Structure 1
Amino acid sequence: MAVTVFTPSERLAPFVRVFEVMETQEEMTRVLIPEPSIVIGFRFRGASQLVEGGEARTVPDSVISGLRVSARRMRTLAGSGIILAKFRAGGAAFFFDTPMHLLFGETLALDSLVPRAQVDRVASRIADAGDDARRVALLDAFLLSRLRPHAVPGAVQAAVQALQSEPGAVRIARLARDLGLSQDALEKGFRRAVGASPKRLASILRLKSAVSAYRPGMRLSQLAHEAGYYDQSHFNRELRAAVGEAPTRLLGSSDYC
């Protein structure tokens, strides 16, 4: 699989972490580690399927995926290509009216949130684009056309930043007090904007950080400590719960992303 990474435009960068264009020459199945934010994608070639419980379900060509705490297995057909926009935590709420927590664990057609005519128009232009840079420019422009700059309360944005800084150390009750909110009010606003509770986001951030930081030969105790886990056993339990495999088995392979 070839992955090309692009930086969003200056106006979009506060909300979108990265664009990725992914292309496959051969059919492959990979484990998708939970992302700490909403992801949208436009497939411009080929097809993919989610493999769950022994069954394969075709993924819509224009798709939005909510936060989740468990990994997914994705089978991608040979010759496929897709462009992804990976939002920052809480970033997707600036572009879509739907409360983000309603997307938790879901992989849906994008036209369930955006008028089908708009989705079809952008998808057609992306499919007809001559190169990846043009595809990125089209997706960037589509998102900018939907941007609502004041959609997420400042307190929720501050809470997201605090969790990203120290996902293993932040206490939600104290954070709410520091922001002048009740814990209940913070958690409700957080779930609506981010797509999961603060506790769940912290768990996803830790896991993604650990898996992304792993290098062959690295001690798992060091990996767990640097990602914010209490100890290696804590990391082992959370990774096994999310992926269904022991860390040594998953990290020793190349079948995840």
Structure 2
Amino acid sequence: MQVHSFAPGEALAPFVRAFEIIEAGAAMEKLLVPETGLILGFRYSGSSSLVDGPAQAVVPDQVVTGLRATARRMLTSAGSGIVLAKFRAGAAGAFFDPPLQQLFGATVALEELMDPREVEAASARIRAARTHRERVDALEQFLLRRRARKAWQADPLVGAALRAIHADPGAMRVGPLARDLGLSVDGLEKRFRRGVGASPKQLASLLRLRRALRAHRQGSPLTQLALEAGYYDQAHFIRQVVAAVGMAPRAFLHASEFCL
């Protein structure tokens, strides 16, 4: 598998964390660790399916994946290629109409959320592109056109909550955070889910998990890894990993092929 990353242009940088092109020369199965923002994808070759035990579900070629609490297992065909836009937490609302909490845990065909004619036109340009740069440019233009037609204002209180959570996800407590922002817990939860697509606690858990997995090095003690990532202790870390990926940390880190 080859992954090519591209930084967004200035106009999209506040919304898109990165563009990625992922290509698979051979068929492969990977465990996808949950992301902290929505992902939009245009597949220009091959196919992929989500694997759930013996069952498989084909992933739409033009697709949006919402935030989720658990990992997904994906089977990708040989010769597959897809270009992705990975949105920053709380920024995808600038491009999508439904409240983002409706997409939590969902994998949805893009045509269900946007004008199918626009989606197909962008897909045709991406399929016709000859280079990775041209594919990313076509996706950028699609998003820029979408942004220009959509009235959207970031919620400043959700933005403040996001900054606090990103600064120290291990220390995040919903009650004190809500009080600091002048909101009730229920008020913060509703605004955050609508703007981010998950609860503050769910996002903090995802940030801790991804921080720990990125920091892992062969032979590093789990206790040290857990504490540095913001978990209370090793037991807390183990519970969270099992809940997210379905296996204990050592087995997952040493045996699984996963994608961050």
TM-score range, shorter chain: over 0.9
Q: Tell me which amino acid in the other structure corresponds to 1:22.
A: I
1:145-171 Cα offsets, whole Å, 9 max, x none, are: 222574321111111111111111022
Structure 2 gaps, min length 5? none
Q: Percent sequence identity over matched residues? A: 53
TM-score by length of 1: 0.97
Tell me the equivalent position of 1:8.
Answer: 8
1:79-121 Cα offsets, whole Å, 9 max, x none, are: 0000111111111111111110000110010111111001101
Tell me the equivalent position of 1:24.
Answer: 24
Q: What is the CA–CA distance in structure 2 between the aligned matches of 1:244 and 1:81, rounded to whole Å?
A: 28
173-182 vs 111-120, greater mean Cα deviation? 173-182
What displacement does 1:50 show?
Answer: 0.1
173-182 vs 147-156, greater mean Cα deviation? 147-156
Tell me the equivalent position of 2:112.
Answer: 112
Q: Tell me which amino acid in the other structure corresponds to 1:103.
A: L
Query: Where does 1:165-180 land on structure 2 (aligned, <5 Å)?
Result: 165-180=167-182
221-230 vs 59-68, greater mean Cα deviation? 221-230
**Counterpart secondary structure, 2:136:** helix
Q: Tell me which amino acid in the other structure corresponds to 1:168.
A: G
Q: What is the CA–CA distance in structure 1 between the aligned matches of 2:213 and 2:238, rounded to whole Å?
A: 11
Q: Tell me which amino acid in the other structure corresponds to 1:67.
A: L
What displacement does 1:254 show?
Answer: 5.3
Tell me the equivalent position of 1:47.
Answer: 47
Query: Where does 1:33-182 land on structure 2 (aligned, <5 Å)?
Result: 33-147=33-147, 148=150, 150-182=152-184
Tell me the equivalent position of 2:204.
Answer: 202
Q: Is the 8 A contact 2:33 2:70 kept in 1?
A: yes
**Counterpart secondary structure, 2:137:** helix
**Counterpart secondary structure, 1:10:** coil
Tell me the equivalent position of 2:251.
Answer: 249
188-197 vs 245-254, greater mean Cα deviation? 245-254
190-199 vs 138-147, greater mean Cα deviation? 138-147
**Counterpart secondary structure, 1:145:** helix
